[in-house]
Amino acid sequence: MATTIGSTVLGYPRIGPNRELKRALERYWASRGSEAELRETARSLRADTWRTLREAGLDSVPDSFSFYDHVLDTAVTFGAVPQRYADLGLNPLDTYFAMARGTDSVPPLEMTKWFDTNYHYLVPEIGPDTRFSVADRAVVERFHEALELGVRTRPVLVGPVTLLLLSKPDPDAPEGFSPLDSVDKLVLAYAELLRELRRAGVDWVQLDEPAFAADRTRRELDALRDTYHALGSIGDRPKLFVPGYFGDLGDALGILASAPIEAVGVDFVAGDSRVDDLSALTGLRDKTLVAGLVDGRNVWRTDLDRALTTAATLLGMAGDVAVGTSCSLLHVPYDVAVETHLDAQVRTWLSFARQKVDEVVVLGRALREGRDELEGELVAARRAVADRNGADRVRDESVRRRLAELRPQDARRADYAVRQHEQQEQLRLPALPTTTIGSFPQTTEVRKTRAALRAGEIEHSEYVGRMRGEIERVVRLQEELGLDVLVHGEPERNDMVQYFAEHLAGFVSTEHGWVQSYGSRCVRPPILFGDVSRPEPISVEWSAYAQSLTDRPVKGMLTGPVTILAWSFVRDDQPLADTARQVALALRDEVCDLEAAGLRIIQVDEPALRELLPLRAWQHKEYLDWAPEAFRLATSGVRESTQVHTHLCYSEFGDVIDAIVALDADVTSIEAARSRMEVLADLDTVGFARGIGPGVYDIHSPRVPDEDEIVALLRAALDAVPARRLWANPDCGLKTRGYGEVEPALRNLVNAAARVRNTLR
């Protein structure tokens, strides 16, 4: 039995190096492929992954496979399937997909962000009656499957406490019930699974507890202690490895160090766990400390010298020191080696999942065998890190000068009262103006045109002509519908961040760098490697063209600095706030050019404002200072008469409500259709007194809202917001919808707004 973990990664991407699993899933869902085909694709991807990891030299190979989401998997493993899905009478795989994606009759489980990443998990529902058992044995079966290939894997599950902390109460649960109330019952089921895994021959099991990188109550910490005391105390079980990641474990680290488990994982990249904090933990002396030294969330090559120094200082503090990644490699693309078109120098600075495995292996060996044995690898890494640190192209002196010369007033506009007056003079909008969030349906035609340009099949002039045709069509449609503030429809954008990254200096884009966002959905985050500036106007021509077609105001449409950072891989050689300011200045140039080109309204979207909020409360203040400041820096270069809008894709503001106020946008559109306008009262409480557009139409569903329903929502909104500050709009962009739904829905929206407007006087 393996007594040590040695070198390992906490998890590996599972969507397939060429997104094979994505394609197989989508074929299966569309009934174009059988379950057997899907399972075969999955099996062969797993075999490749396990073999790759073993052959690369990892001492312990994780099994972190999932068809859709690892949180859902763990819930299903223990039978936490809400009755409405069980009642569908589907086979186990389809029941699982019903929870993930919904069916015609049942909506899916709620989906939300996995901590501060851009990965989304499905929120389990737990009630007092949820009966836990080992209901699904996929994890055991996969262990046998790997064993047949000669690899003894380490099953990975979400730990019981994190699972419950990420769950929400079942809709029928009594008031005051919290999923954590069920921890003892759930732990019994985990215990049963652990025994079963041991019988199957499993040496190590990994139970992830990342929830403890965020602030936790005494009760939650006690639950962690009791849980691992219970699981550690059962006879005949595999060894337990419990990592917490995405930050510092705080008090949870001491609890895990003294629990009767065999290994604890600490994130030395995101956390600022200082080595001295660990030395006080005597409980670690008989445990393995898995040091998360290789960044699982970013794409830069590891400074191996520095990592080794950290590892070496840990040596005396734990029974054994193993080397690992800071978190699962789920969050980075598969392999840099396939990026043959990437800028050659930048490429040498990068490390994707496959390269990170090698880094872990080298660190593990250097730690055991001494640096001399690995001098070749260490020298190569040292050179790459030095090359990046010293590269001219990461620094742009004019950008730095501009940043240094910023004055506080550059991020400030005149009082809202002044702006409001001048904007009304200029725009003459009716009460309850109607608008959309920016994108219109991305038709096959539009996608094909973009693809044709990329493939070099059409000339640029041909592309511009076709896009202008699309913009004109969208503008005419909006005029015909009677919307008050128009948009150009964003047909030129593949993705709201990637599009801007492709046009800004300081970024590179990958060809194959896909990362799972949720289920079969993948994104290709740009890589921000150097100082950012805007060589040329980006969106100005499209927006100006749209404005030239109509007398109604057209909104210029940009993505904000915080969102650009959140959805990119960012440089790690300077504070995020500095990078944000650089992006903000580049956007400021664009905002000013839009104004100069005749756009009187400019929207800067910040749907990721909440996502970057640090997990620990003590870090909030700093974030809540720089993030809104970056937005204001981007938007404060315009005249008072120019109206600045922003858009956020959610309505549970909680911790970021003050930041929303601090953005100081003239108009903010938010999601509200699903939460029945209750958020408006929250905004009122914190003294938000700007224009607000609570979404009155849920674009996440194909359903067309009828006029009466929108009238009712607008009337409800008027209870909290005076008519002169209220806007009527959908709750997000329309790009994923079809015209068949969008046209009638917008028609109803315009009519509903007119009806409510007529009753105002």
Instruction: Name the residues annotated as catalytic.
Output: 700
Token pair recorded at residue 270: 């995101």
Residue number with CB closer to ligand GLN (575 or 702): 702
Residue whose C-alpha is closest to residue 224's, from 197, 257, 192: 257
Residue number with CB closer to ligand GLN (487 or 752): 487
Report the alpha-carbon distance of residue 415 to residue 664 in Å, rounded: 10
Q: Which does 438 bind (CB under 5 to 8 A by kind): ligand GLN, Zn ion, none?
A: ligand GLN
The side-by-side arrangement of strands in the sheet containing 643-647 is 555-559, 601-605, 643-647, 667-670, 691-694
Alpha helices in 567-719 (DSSP H): 576-596, 620-635, 657-663, 678-685, 707-718
Residue number with CB closer to ligand GLN (322 or 602): 602
Closest approach of ligand GLN to the CB of residue 733, in Å: 2
**Binding of ligand GLN at residue 733 (CB under 6 A)?**
yes
Report the alpha-carbon distance of residue 672 to residue 264 in Å, rounded: 42
Element of type H or E holding 205: strand 204-208
Report the alpha-carbon distance of residue 603 to residue 490 in Å, rounded: 12
Q: Which long-range contacts (CB under 8 A, 24 or more apart) does 505-509 make?
A: 505/396, 505/530, 505/531, 505/532, 505/533, 505/534, 505/535, 506/396, 506/530, 506/531, 506/532, 506/533, 506/582, 507/532, 507/568, 508/342, 508/343, 508/346
> Which of the residues 465 through 504 are near ligand GLN (CB under 6 A)?
490, 496
Report the alpha-carbon distance of residue 134 to residue 75 in Å, rounded: 10
> Which of the residues 603 through 642 are near ligand GLN (CB under 6 A)?
605, 607
The side-by-side arrangement of strands in the sheet containing 263-267 is 61-63, 153-158, 204-208, 239-244, 263-267, 288-294, 320-325
| Amino acid at position 502, single letter | E
Q: Which residue has the tokens 């820096």?
A: 633
Q: Which does 557 bind (CB under 5 to 8 A by kind): ligand GLN, Zn ion, none?
A: ligand GLN
> Which of the residues 536 through 595 are near ligand GLN (CB under 6 A)?
557
Closest approach of Zn ion to the CB of residue 612, in Å: 16
Closest approach of ligand GLN to the CB of residue 690, in Å: 18
Closest approach of Zn ion to the CB of residue 478, in Å: 18
Which listed residue (58, 601, 615, 649) binds Zn ion by CB under 5 A? 649
Closest approach of ligand GLN to the CB of residue 169, in Å: 29
Beta bridge partners of 556: 602
CB 686 within 8 A of CB 661: yes
Query: Binders of Zn ion: how many residues, by CB under 5 A?
Result: 3
Over its C-alpha atoms, the chain yields an Rg (Å, rounded) of 27
Q: Which does 441 bind (CB under 5 to 8 A by kind): Zn ion, ligand GLN, none?
A: none
Closest approach of Zn ion to the CB of residue 541, in Å: 24
Report the alpha-carbon distance of residue 672 to residue 25 in Å, rounded: 32
Residue number with CB closer to Zn ion (381 or 609): 609
Report the alpha-carbon distance of residue 235 to residue 434 in Å, rounded: 66
Q: Give the distance from CA 308 to its chain's centroid.
A: 30
Token pair recorded at residue 437: 């969030």
> Which of the residues 644 through 683 are near ligand GLN (CB under 6 A)?
647, 649
Residue number with CB closer to ligand GLN (367 or 649): 649
> Which of the residues 89 through 118 are near ligand GLN (CB under 6 A)?
none
Q: Which does 605 bind (CB under 5 to 8 A by kind): Zn ion, ligand GLN, none?
A: ligand GLN
Residue number with CB closer to ligand GLN (439 or 642): 439
Residue number with CB closer to ligand GLN (349 or 545): 545
**391 burial via Cβ count (<10 Å: 0-12, 13-18, 19+):** middle
Which residue of this chain has its Cβ atom nearest to ligand GLN in the complex?
Answer: 733
Q: Which does 590 bind (CB under 5 to 8 A by kind): Zn ion, ligand GLN, none?
A: none
| Phi and psi at residue 601, to the nearest 5° | -130, 135
Instruction: Please give the torsion angle defined by the CA atoms of residues 295, 301, 307 and 308, in that order, rounded to the nearest 10 degrees.
Output: 140
Q: Which does 134 bind (CB under 5 to 8 A by kind): ligand GLN, Zn ion, none?
A: none
Which listed residue (134, 207, 659, 732) binds Zn ion by CB under 5 A? 732
Which listed residue (294, 322, 437, 714) binds ligand GLN by CB under 6 A? 437
Q: Which stretch binds ligand GLN (CB under 6 A): 322-330, 399-407, 730-738, 741-749?
A: 730-738
Residue number with CB closer to ligand GLN (10 or 437): 437
> Which of the residues 245 through 304 are near ligand GLN (CB under 6 A)?
none
Report the alpha-carbon distance of residue 138 to residue 78 in Å, rounded: 11
Closest approach of ligand GLN to the CB of residue 11, in Å: 27
Quick note: the x/- pattern for Zn ion over 589-618, rule CB under 5 A, is ------------------x-----------
Q: Which residue has the tokens 């050689």?
A: 573
Residue number with CB closer to ligand GLN (17 or 491): 491
Closest approach of Zn ion to the CB of residue 649, in Å: 3
Closest approach of ligand GLN to the CB of residue 177, in Å: 33
Q: Which does 496 bind (CB under 5 to 8 A by kind): ligand GLN, Zn ion, none?
A: ligand GLN
Residues that bind ligand GLN (CB under 6 A): 437-439, 490, 496, 557, 605, 607, 647, 649, 732-733, 735
Binding site for Zn ion (CB under 5 A): 607, 649, 732
